[in-house]
Structure 1
C-alpha cells in the first residue's frame, strides 16, 4: 500500500471530532517532538533565528543574540513563508468556527471586520513609535496576529450571542468593537504627535489614502466596460483598496521620505529595479490578477471559500497601509 493510500485509509473522516483534534494538535505535537529531538536545530536555528528572535530584536530596536546566534528585526524569507503557511492552515478552522456561529458571509461582515484590521495596523504603528512599553512584544509580528485574532474571535462570539437575543447583528458588534479600538489607537498616535516636538506630516495619510481611493475609483469605472459582473463586488473593492493603500504608502515613503519597502519580496523588487513605485505596480498587477480570477470564479467556487479568499487579500494590505501612513506622518 502506498504512503498516500495508507494515510487516506487511516485518517479520520473530515469534519469529525477526531479529525479536528488532529487538525488542532497535529502541528503542536510535531513541533514539540522536533524540539525534543533536535532542540538546537529547531529552536536556535529556526524558531529563534527567524521567528522569535526578530520579534525580540524589534522590541529592543537592535539585533539580539541567543547561544551565539544573531537575530535581526524585520521580515525575512523564512518568517514570511512561515506566516503565510500559518494563515493558509488556519482557514479551515476559521471557516468551521464561522459556520458554527451561523455567520452570514457577505459584504457587511467584511466591512464590519475592517475597523479591527485598521486597529491592528495602528497598534503596530504605536509599537514602532515606542509608545507601548513592556507590551510592545505583543504587537510585533507574529504576536500581533494572535492578539488581533483573539479579539476578533471574542467579538464574533459576543456578536452571535447579541444576535440570538435580537439586539444587534454580528457585523454591527465587530464593527463597534473595531471602531472603538481603531479610534483609540489612531487618536493616541495623533495625540503623541500633537504633544511632542514631532513635525506632523499630515499630508502623508491624505496622499496615500487619496492615491488608493483614486486608483480604486478608476478600477471601478473601468470594470463597468467588462462583461464580468462581479468585478465590482464590494469585497473585491475592499481588497483592491487595501492592497493599493499599502502600495501607496510604500511609493510615498520611498519617493519622498527615504524609506525602503519592508517586505522581503517588495524590497527585492525595489533593489533590483530602483523604481520608487515598484511595490505599487507589483501590488496593482498581482491584486488585479487575483481579483479578476475571483470575479470570474464567483459562480463556481464555494461561497465561503470565495469570501475568505477575497477578504484576506484586503486584510493583508489594509493594516500595512495604516501602519506605514501613521509611521511616516510621525517621522518614525
Structure 2
C-alpha cells in the first residue's frame, strides 16, 4: 500500500478515493433507486433535512411526495419515514466523510504554503460564529413556513444551511476566503493574509445577524430578546475566566501548547454550554414564550438524566441542563491538555487544523442556540 501511495502520490490517491466513492453512490442510486436512494440516502440523509426545513417531527416519502407523517391519509403508502437529527446510520456516513474532508484540507494547506498557522486560527474565528448565525437564518426560514406556509429560501437550497450540510457550505465559503486572502498576501496587497480573512468572516457574520435583526423587526414570527445574548455571553466569559485562572494558577503546564488559543477553545465550548442552560431552562425567565427543546441527543440525555437523579424541588430551582456546561468545560480543558508543546512542535499545521475543528464544534452549535433564542425562532 505504501508503495502504491508513493508511486501515485497521496493527493492523487485521495482524489481517486473520493471520486470512486461518489461514483459508487451515484451509480447505486441510478441502478437501484428504491433500495439505495429512497431507503438509504433519502431516509437517513436527505429526509431528516427535509423534516428539519419544515419543522416537521416526521416526514414520509409517500411515493416521492415528501409530506408530514401527520398529513398522511388513512391507508396511504407512507414508505420510509425520517425525523430531524442524526442516527447511527447517518453518523456512519458523516464521520468518514469528515475524515476525508480533513485530509483534503491538509493537502490544500500544503498547496497554499500557509506559514503563520496560529494567525489563521484567530482569523477564522468569525467564520465559526458565522456558521451558527447562518444556521439560525434557516431556523427563521422554518419559522416563516410554520407561520405563513411559505419558505423565503426554498428547498433544496435551504438544505445547504441545515446541519450537517451547513458544515460543508461554511467550509467552502471559508476556503474561498482563505484562497483569496493568501493570494492578496502573496501579491503584497496586504501585510498578512489573516487581516482580509478576518475581515471577510466578520462581514459575513454581520450580514447574517443583520438579516435576523431585520426579520425580528418586520415579521410577526420573530422577536428580539436582548437579555438572551447578554446573559449567554457574560456567563460564558465568566466561566472561561474562572477556568483559565484556575489553569494558570494550579496547572500552568496545560496551556503551554495551545497558549492563548486555549482561551478561545474554552470560550467556544462555554458559549455552547451556557446557551444550552439558558435556552433549555431559563428562556421563559428571560422573556421567551417557551423554553427551547434540545436538538442533539447528548444535550437531551444530560438534561433527562439530571431530572431523573435530582429531586424535583431541586430541578425546579436549578434546572436540569446545567451539568452540560461542566461537561463542555471539562472537554475543553481535556483538549488543551492533550495539545501540548510536542504536538505543535511536531506538526503545527495538523495541530492548528484540529484546534479549528474543536472550536467550530463548540462555537457553531453554541452560537446557533444563543441566536435561536435571541430572535425567537
The answer to whether the superposition gives a TM-score over 0.5 is yes
1:251–1:276 Cα contact (<8 Å) kept: yes
Give structure 1 regions of 4+ aligned residues with deviation exceeding 6 angstroms: none
Identify the residue that residue 374 of structure 2 maps to in structure 1.
329
Q: Distance in 2 between matches of 1:175 and 1:17?
A: 29
How far residue 278 of structure 1 moved from its aligned partner, in angstroms, is: 3.1
Task: Tell me whether 259-268 or 190-199 shows the greater mean CA deviation.
Answer: 190-199
Among 300, 306, 328, the residue aligned to 1:273:
306
Superposed, 1:165-184 pairs within 5 Å as 165-168=187-190, 169-184=192-207
Aligned residues of 1:116 and 1:152 also touching (Cα < 8 A): yes
Cα distance in 2 for partners of 1:128, 1:249 equals: 16
Shift of 1:305: 1.3
CA contact (8 A) 1:55 1:140 kept: yes
Give yes or no for contact 1:54–1:72 (8 Å, CA) kept in 2. yes
The CA distance in 2 between the partners of 1:313 and 1:288, in whole Å, is 12
CA distance in 2, matches of 1:15, 1:218: 48
Whole-angstrom CA distance in 2 between matches of 1:14 and 1:105? 30
Q: Tell me which of 4, 25, 29 is aligned to 1:31.
A: 25
Asked which structure has the greater CA Rg, the reply is: 2
- Structure 1 spans left out of the alignment, 5+ residues: 1-6
Alignment of 1:274-293 (within 5 A): 274=307, 275-293=320-338
In 1, Cα distance between the equivalents of 2:88 and 2:105?
Answer: 26
Q: 2:239 aligns with which of 215, 220, 229?
A: 215
Range with greater deviation from structure 2 (232-241 or 156-165): 232-241
Shift of 1:196: 4.1
What do residues 156-212 of structure 1 show as CA deviations (whole Å, max 9, x unaligned)? 111121111111222112211111111011011122223345442211111111121
Cα distance in 1 for residues equivalent to 2:343 and 2:368: 31
Q: Normalising by structure 1, what TM-score?
A: 0.89
Does 1:141 pair with 2:135? no
Report how far residue 53 of structure 1 moved: 0.7
Q: How far 1:219 sits from its partner (Å)?
A: 2.0
State the Cα RMSD in Å: 2.4
Contact 2:258 2:336 in 1 (8 A): no
Counterpart of 1:240? 266
Task: Verify the 8 A CA contact 1:127 1:140 in the aligned structure 2.
Answer: yes
- Of the three residues 15, 29, 33, the one matched with 1:21 is 15
Once the two structures are overlaid, the 10-residue window that deviates more, 181-190 or 29-38, is 29-38
Count of residue pairs brought into register by the alignment? 326
TM-score, scaled to structure 2: 0.79
